[in-house]
Amino acid sequence: MLRYMLFTRALDAKTLSLQRQGRAATYAPSIGEEATQIGSAMAMGDGDFFVPNFRQHGVYLARGLPLELFFLYWKGFEEGGAIPKSVAGFPYIVPVSSQLPHAAGIALAQKYLKTGKSVVGYVGDGGTSEGNFYETMNFAGVMAIPLVIIIENNQWAISVPRSSQSVAPTLAQKGIAAGIKVLQVDGNDVVAVYKAVREALNDAVNGIPSLLECVTYRMSMHTTADDPTKYRDPADVEVWKKRDPIDRIRKYLVGKGLWDDKKEADAAEEFKKAIDEAVEKAEKFTPNPETMFTNVYSYMPEVLQEELDDAKANGFYQK
């Protein structure tokens, strides 16, 4: 868990650097939220699906997404969103909460096909104010689908604080009216997140959907187009720095004699090498315009085939 959390933070640092150099698109850092992401990702079984929003970098990493695809996506190439089937995940979703009905549909498919697999959908605290969120919970409860919704409550919806999103004492309790299980978890405790998600997934396959609120904090900006110093009290950030999820699990493992400075240095070097190699591959990438047709459906519909043939016939692109 610690290795993946450190890897995620190293990935964030590199992508932020690339964005500032003009070598990557607008990026949403996950700094401070690694425990929620890695704990939940490692709780999933083989074949369980996940449906992200735009910040689940650690989930992709732990689920085995090739790093080259990660950088292709953040360089603006849609090919980076062609997620390998082995990852059992879906592309980044930017429109807030629009991914949750998709997650519900995929979960319904698992129930219908009797696959024994579950679906984990992610949403931010701001996303819990959207209609798609409530509709998904209601559908999950009525249809008893194998779905676990994780609220990654990082306290900020861009510049809007949690207190302005809802006066409900917890965001988890929003699921009570839908008749699904709810739980609030310390999202900076990777072991607690793992345990909660593992138990929720065990329930899910038995037709008991859940809503989990992981309480964490967005240590960085909403995206690289944002300046949190304009709206956030620095003192608040300092309080949450003391709750850094990586520091917590690191101190625990050091105390158990399972981690030390050498292991951390070796890991950092390993991650740097993997990231640098992936960036190099991504920057050599040449896009094929044909993928705008071939990556849309699991098969080629007649209407798209006609458009592809027309594009080729009229020289709109060359391979």
Partner residues linked to 146 by β-bridges: none
- Does residue 55 carry a catalytic annotation? no
Of residues 20, 112, 231, 317, which has the active-site annotation? 231
On whether the CB atoms of residues 89 and 49 are closer than 8 A, the answer is: yes
State the Cα–Cα distance between residues 267 and 86, nearest whole angstrom: 25
Classified as helix, coil or strand, 242 is coil
- Does residue 9 carry a catalytic annotation? no
Of residues 57, 222, 243, 248, which has the active-site annotation? 222
In the numeric block, the tokens 């990777």 are attached to: 190
State the Cα–Cα distance between residues 184 and 131, nearest whole angstrom: 21
State the Cα–Cα distance between residues 187 and 39, nearest whole angstrom: 9
State the Cα–Cα distance between residues 165 and 213, nearest whole angstrom: 14
Partner residues linked to 185 by β-bridges: 214
On whether the CB atoms of residues 123 and 40 are closer than 8 A, the answer is: no
- Does residue 231 carry a catalytic annotation? yes
Alpha helices per DSSP H over the chain: 2-20, 34-43, 57-62, 67-74, 99-113, 131-143, 162-165, 190-204, 234-241, 245-255, 261-283, 291-294, 302-313
Of residues 9, 57, 63, 218, which has the active-site annotation? 218
Catalytic sites, residue numbers: 218, 222, 231
